[in-house]
Amino acid sequence: IKNRKEKNMDRFYTCEEVADLYRVKKTTVWAWIRKGKLFAVRIGKVYRIRENDLAAFEKSSMSAIK
Model pLDDT, residue 63: 66
C-alpha to C-alpha distance for 29 and 8, rounded to whole angstroms: 26
Q: Is the pLDDT of residue 3 over 80?
A: no
**Structure confidence by residue, pLDDT tens digits, 16-65:** 999 999 999 999 999 999 999 999 999 999 999 999 999 999 998 876 65
- Cα distances (Å, whole numbers) of residue 21 to 5, 17, 65: 23, 6, 19
Model pLDDT, residue 1: 45
pTM of this prediction? 0.78
Model pLDDT, residue 64: 60
